Structure 1
Amino acid sequence: MFIIKEDFSTFIKKYPLTVLIVGVCCLLTILITMKGGYTKTNVVLLGSYDRNLINNGQFWRLLTYSVGHMSYSHFLLNIVFIILLSRPLERVLGKLKFILCYLFTSILAVIIIHFFSNIDYVAGSSGFGYGLLGIYIYLFLKFRNKFYKSDRNFIFMFVAFGFTITLLIPSVSFSGHLGGFIGGIIFAALVFKKEHQVLFVT
C-alpha cells in the first residue's frame, strides 16, 4: 500500500496533487535558500504562521504556513511523510476531497496552535501529515479486515514514532501535530461511512 512502484512520469500522472504540494514546498525551500536560509525573518516573509500578523488580519497565513518549513531537516522529513502517506488517499478520495482534506487538516492544526499554544511563529506541512495518520488510524480501527496487517503495523509504528519525536524535541509543536491528527480522524469519520468506500484502498 505504501510502497512506491511507479516511475517518475507515472507518479506525476497518478498523484498530481501530491506532486503539487511537494513541488510548492520545494519551491519555498529554494526561495528561502536564495534569501540566506532558515531565519525567522525569511520564514515569516515567505508565509509562515505568525501570531501577531494573524491577529492583525493576515488570515491567509493559516494556509500558507503549511508549505513552508523551519529547517532543511524539517522539510525533508515532511516531504517523505507526504510522499509515503498521501498517495493512497489521493487515489481513493479523488481530487476534490483530497484538497478538502489538505485544507481541513492544515487549517485545523494551526487554529489549535493559535488558541492552545504560546508559539509565536511556525511553518510546516506536519499538520497535514499528521492528518493523514489520523485518517489511516480511523480506517484501520473501523475497517480493520480491509487492510493488510503489514500496512496497519507500519502506520501504528509511524504514529508512535511521530508522537515520540514530538514529545522529545522541545521546538516541535505538539498542539499542531495533535490538531492535525484529530482533524484527520474527524475528516475520515465524515467521508468514510460505508465499508465499500475502502475496498480499493489496499
Structure 2
Amino acid sequence: MIVIKKEKLLRYIKESPVTFTFLLIIIIYFIVISLNGGTNDIETLVRFGAFFPPFIFKYNQYYRFITSIFIHIGISHLFFNGYALYVFGTQIERFLGKKKYILFFLLTGLMGNITTYIFNPISVSAGASGSLFGIFGAFIYLIHRHKEMITPEGRKSIISMIGINLVLTILVPSISITAHLGGLIAGYILSYVFIK
C-alpha cells in the first residue's frame, strides 16, 4: 500500500511538477505563518505578505500582489483551495505546459488582486482563489471554443462546479468577490492568448 501511494505521488510530481510546487509553497507558507502568530491573525497575515491595499499604496509594497496568492486564512481555506488546485490545476498544467501554466496562474491571481485593489481597497485578503477562478475561466473557454476537447459529462460537471462556486462567492461574506470575478474574467480572456 505504501509503495503504491509513493509511486502515485512520484507519478503526480512527474506529470504536474508546477502544480505540485505551488501546493508545496502554499503548505510551507501556511506552516510558517501558523508557527509565527497564526493564519487567522490579521497582523500576522499582513506581516507575511497578505494583500492589503493601504500598504501597497503608502509603502509601495507591490510584492503583495503575488505573495498573497500563496497565503491562506485558516485550515479550511487551505484545504479547499489546495484540493481544487490539485484537481483542476493539474489538468490545465498538462494542457498548457509548464512555462505557460506558471505565467497563466500568476497573471490570473494578479488580476484578481488588481480587481480587489480597485474595488475593495481597504480589506485584508489572501489565497489562490483568483488563480483558481482563472483556471475555471480557462475551462469555460475550452467549453466555449473547443467543446470537442471535453466530454459532455465533463462539461456538465465543470459548469455545475463553477456555478456552485459563484453562488458561494456571492453568499459567503468572507469570500472576496472581486478576486474571484477578476480571476475568472482574466482566465477566460487570457485563454485566447494562451490556448487559442
Q: TM-score range by the shorter chain?
A: over 0.9
Query: Contact conserved, 1:18 with 1:82, CA < 8 A, in 2?
Result: yes
Q: After the TM superposition, which segments of 4 or more aligned residues of structure 1 sit over 6 Å from their partners? A: none
Identity %: 30
What is the aligned counterpart of 1:57 among 57, 60, 64? 60
Alignment correspondent of 2:3: none
TM-score, with structure 1 as normaliser: 0.90
Matched residues in 2 for 1:191 and 1:11: separation?
23
Alignment correspondent of 1:200: none
Q: Pairwise mapping of residues 12-161 of structure 1 onto structure 2 (< 5 A)?
A: 12-37=13-38, 38-55=40-57, 56-161=59-164
RMSD of aligned residue pairs (Cα, Å): 1.2
1:92 positional shift: 1.7
Matched residues in 2 for 1:146 and 1:102: separation?
21
Encode CA deviations 1:157-197: one digit per residue, 9 max, x unaligned. 1111101111111111111100000010011111222xxxx
- Runs of 5+ in structure 2 lacking a partner? 1-6
Alignment correspondent of 1:198: none
SS at match of 2:98: helix
Query: Contact conserved, 2:54 with 2:121, CA < 8 A, in 1?
Result: no
SS at match of 1:164: helix
Matched residues in 1 for 2:147 and 2:114: separation?
31
Matched residues in 1 for 2:122 and 2:167: separation?
20
SS at match of 1:49: coil
TM-score, with structure 2 as normaliser: 0.92
Alignment correspondent of 1:7: 8
Query: Contact conserved, 1:108 with 1:183, CA < 8 A, in 2?
Result: yes
Matched residues in 2 for 1:154 and 1:9: separation?
28
What is the aligned counterpart of 2:179 among 145, 152, 176? 176
1:94 positional shift: 1.1
One-letter amino acid of the structure 2 residue matched with residue 43 of structure 1? L
- Runs of 5+ in structure 1 lacking a partner? 1-5, 194-202
Query: Contact conserved, 1:113 with 1:119, CA < 8 A, in 2?
Result: no
Matched residues in 2 for 1:125 and 1:146: separation?
26
* Count of aligned pairs: 188
1:118 positional shift: 4.2
